[in-house]
């Protein structure tokens, strides 16, 4: 037994080391396209954007009130108000027609354009009407008070957003505010998915004895879609070398990334690795990862295209997609891998044991309790799709850790 055990020890990589073998081949974005900014929500920006102008382009009032020369209000109080003559009103969307001189004020609404002569706005609540054209100012304002200066939001030439940024609603609004009506974004990647296995039938078929419905290719397709890319399901292929090899080879031309959802037996995994190796260079980079669930994962590059052999068990499949495929898609789209939105901190409801020397992942359900978020482990064999359905996310146990304890804070990777 010893030679085999030693061989395994040296050949099986940590998930981090495994991805590090693939990462040097991944550069992005692979291809870009120009889209309308208003249609670009969720797309990955493929250019560094700087501001073509200033915002606002004119001094704006932030209050309803009167545009004044601040000096006219110095020392004003309810007991000793400043008297100002209202000479005009600023209409929204229009420049002021008359500039206030000493002792004069111009009525202005929130968002209105400050007349040239004014340098501050007195809130209407701090004034009283004396007659049709005279107001009392009851409090002083400082120069610049209740005014947004030209370029205070953003200045011409300012850095707006970096390439790789995933566009959010406020980014769409911010770019349109500056008249940036088109942006260059990474093309969505075409991700081919082949479902392998003699036992697999389509979801609308009635499985016979020993048969199961295809789960993984639809789960993977949805994961690809959620990552912002385009899944292409390439059908169910029997566990015959020539069939798998032909479908894989034909598909590779049509896609940017190819995923083979392989069976779980050693023989089908080995066959999948051989098929992938036959497709071209550099070929299989990783075959087997020190990871539970997900050990029999294959990472490969065929020319410029990443090819994955993911384990057939649904839980292994989803864990390895998150660990290897998702960061690959991010890199190929030119997007940074870290996304705060994908994880949260919670406390464990119970102890969880783990074998050291292997990264373990287990599923949890997240519960909001009075004292914060708690993560309740859901245990189940990695063949069980409903452990995933019951779970909100997964927790990692590091390679060098023998377990986690009840009450310990853990990071839940949401899925």
Q: What residues between 164 and 223 interact with its own copies by CB under 8 A?
A: 168-174, 176-179, 181, 197-200, 203-204, 206-216, 218-223
CA 66 – CA 145 distance, rounded (Å): 11
9 part of the interface to its own copies, by CB under 8 A: no
Look at residue 224 and give its three-state secondary structure: helix
Among 38, 48, 398, 406, contact with its own copies (rule: CB under 8 A): 38
The minimum distance between CB 282 and its own copies, in angstroms, equals 29
Going 219 to 223 to 224 to 230, the CA torsion angle's sign is positive
Contact between residue 86 and residue 128 where contact means Cβ atoms under 8 Å apart: no
User: By C-beta, is 71 or 109 nearer to its own copies?
Assistant: 109
- Tell me whether residue 37 or residue 251 sits nearer to its own copies (CB atom): 37
* Residue of the chain from 55, 137, 289, 364 that contacts its own copies (CB under 8 A): 55
- One DSSP character per residue, 70-99 reads GGGGTT--SSSPEEEEEEEEPPTTS--SS-
Query: Which of positions 247-306 make contact with its own copies (CB under 8 A)?
Result: 263-268
Is residue 130 a contact residue for its own copies (CB under 8 A)? no
- In the complex with its own copies, which residue's Cβ is closer, 9 or 181? 181
User: CA 311 to CA 325: how far, in whole Å?
Assistant: 13
Range 57-76, binding its own copies (CB under 8 A): 57-58, 60, 62, 64
- For its own copies, which is the closer residue by CB, 27 or 34? 34
Confirm or reject binding of residue 142 to its own copies (CB under 8 A): no
In degrees rounded to 5, what are phi and psi of residue 409? -75, 130
Report the candidate in 187, 189, 199 with the shortest Cα–Cα distance to residue 223: 189
Where in 210-339 does DSSP place strands (E)?
A: 212-213, 230-237, 257-261, 282-287, 291-292, 298-302, 305-310
Closest separation between CB of residue 376 and its own copies, Å?
Answer: 13
Binding its own copies (rule: CB under 8 A), the pick from 15, 81, 312, 327 is 312
CB of 367 to its own copies, least distance (A): 10
Subset of 91-110 contacting its own copies (CB under 8 A):
91-95, 109-110
52 forms part of the interface with its own copies (CB under 8 A): no
Taking CB under 8 A as the criterion, the residue among 71, 383, 399, 408 binding its own copies is 383
Candidate list 6, 102, 337, 389; residue touching its own copies; CB under 8 A: 389
Span of 81-89, 98-106, 251-259, 388-396 interacting with its own copies by CB under 8 A? 388-396
Closest CA to 294 of 277, 283, 308, 284: 308
Among 10, 131, 253, 341, binds its own copies (CB under 8 A): 341
Residue placing its CB nearer to its own copies in the complex, 21 or 233: 233
98 by Cβ neighbours in 10 Å (0-12 / 13-18 / 19+) ranks as: middle
The pair phi, psi for residue 145, each rounded to 5°, is: -65, 135
* Of residues 279 and 393, the one with the C-beta less far from its own copies: 393
Tell me: does residue 405 bind its own copies (CB under 8 A): no
Residues binding its own copies: what is the number (CB under 8 A)? 98
Tokens 């070398």 found at: 241
Span 239-258, contacts to its own copies by CB under 8 A? 239
Q: What is the spatial distance between Cα 171 and Cα 155, in angstroms, rounded to a whole number?
A: 16
Q: Cα 367 to chain center, whole Å?
A: 23
Q: How far apart are CB 33 and its own copies at their closest, in Å? A: 19
The C-alpha atoms of residue 368 and residue 98 are separated, in whole angstroms, by 59
């Amino acid at each position: 037994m010893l030679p085999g055990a030693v061989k395994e020890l040296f050949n099986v990589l940590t998930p981090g080391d495994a991805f590090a073998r693939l990462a040097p081949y991944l550069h992005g974005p692979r291809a870009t396209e120009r889209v309308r900014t208003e249609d670009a929500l969720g797309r990955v920006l493929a250019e560094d954007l700087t501001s073509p102008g200033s915002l606002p382009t004119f001094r704006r009032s932030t209050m309803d009130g009167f545009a004044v020369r601040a000096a006219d209000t110095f020392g004003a109080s309810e007991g000793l108000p400043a008297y100002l003559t209202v000479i005009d009103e600023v209409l929204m969307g229009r420049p002021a027609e008359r500039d206030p001189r000493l002792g004069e004020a111009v009525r202005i609404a929130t968002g209105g354009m400050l007349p040239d002569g004014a340098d501050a706005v007195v809130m209407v609540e701090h004034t009283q009407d004396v007659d049709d054209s005279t107001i009392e100012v009851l409090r002083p304002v400082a120069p610049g008070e209740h005014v947004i200066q030209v370029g205070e939001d953003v200045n011409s030439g300012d850095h707006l957003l970096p390439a790789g940024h995933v566009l959010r609603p406020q980014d769409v609004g911010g770019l349109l505010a500056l008249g940036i009506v088109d942006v260059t974004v990474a093309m969505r990647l075409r991700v081919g998915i082949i479902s392998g296995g003699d036992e697999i039938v389509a979801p609308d078929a009635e499985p016979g004895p020993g048969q199961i419905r295809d789960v993984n290719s639809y789960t993977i397709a949805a994961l690809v879609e959620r990552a912002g890319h385009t899944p292409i399901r390439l059908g169910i292929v029997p566990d015959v070398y020539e069939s798998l090899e032909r479908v894989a080879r034909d598909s590779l031309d049509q896609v940017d990334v190819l995923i083979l959802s392989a069976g779980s037996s050693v023989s089908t995994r080995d066959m999948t690795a051989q098929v992938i190796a036959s497709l071209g260079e550099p070929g299989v980079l990783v075959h087997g990862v020190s990871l539970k669930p997900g050990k029999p994962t294959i990472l490969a590059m065929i020319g410029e295209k990443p090819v994955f052999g993911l384990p057939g068990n649904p839980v292994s499949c989803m864990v390895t997609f998150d660990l290897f495929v998702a960061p690959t898609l991010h890199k190929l789209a030119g997007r940074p891998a870290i996304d705060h939105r994908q994880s949260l901190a919670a406390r464990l409801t119970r102890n969880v044991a783990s074998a050291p020397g292997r990264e373990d992942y287990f599923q949890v359900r997240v519960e909001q309790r009075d004292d914060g978020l708690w993560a309740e482990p859901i245990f189940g064999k990695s063949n069980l799709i409903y452990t995933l359905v019951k779970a909100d996310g997964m927790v990692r146990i590091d390679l060098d850790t023998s377990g986690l304890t009840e009450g310990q804070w853990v990071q839940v990777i949401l899925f």
